[in-house]
Amino acid sequence: MKQKPSRNLWREILHSFARPREAFSSYSHFAGAILSILALIALLLRLPEGSKPGAYISLAVFAVSMFLLYTTSGFYHLIVSSQKVIEALRRLDHIMIYMLIAGTCTPVCVIFLSGGWRWGMLAAIWSLAAAGLVFKLLWISAPRWLSTLSYV
């Protein structure tokens, strides 16, 4: 049976906006989420006329990955809740770093590479991001040096 989100969780979220766990980190990351939307608009407007659809899509992938990272991180630093909820948000926060890395590389590959290089690099980058996702799901408490190395 599928479990519905607890009303208490929604109350915790609303209450957390007034008394966040880490105010500066939370609010600055939410500001980053808003700025990522503005960045997408600015990037799309700066594309040369006649750019291929792939350029627009790849920039959207970048902006969406940035928006998701900052939004997830904002909630991670905001929520005052049980250790279980905080731990789940921490996992998502760390996973989104891999998504942003891949999202950042996507426009570079799509706009500046062609043929096999483009598709090979995209496949490699997103495969590594998926591997990072699995790594963080399975071992969130990995040593810091190993976590840092996995982002490279």
pLDDT band of residue 7 (cuts 50, 70, 90) is: low
Total Cβ atoms within 10 A of residue 17: 12
Model confidence over 77-94: pLDDT tens digits?
A: 998 878 888 899 999 999
CA 137 to chain centre: 15
CA distance 128 to 8: 36
Show the tokens assigned to 118: 């483009």
Mean residue pLDDT across the chain: 89
Model confidence over 16-72: pLDDT tens digits?
A: 777 778 889 999 999 999 999 999 999 999 998 888 999 999 999 999 999 999 999
Is the pLDDT confidence value at 5 over 60? no
Give me the helices (H) in the chain, please.
7-18, 23-46, 53-78, 83-112, 115-138, 144-151
With beta carbons less than 8 A apart as the criterion, state whether 105 and 125 touch: yes
Percent of the chain with pLDDT over 90: 59
Total Cβ atoms within 10 A of residue 47: 14
With beta carbons less than 8 A apart as the criterion, state whether 58 and 92 touch: no
CA distance 102 to 80: 30
With beta carbons less than 8 A apart as the criterion, state whether 46 and 97 touch: no
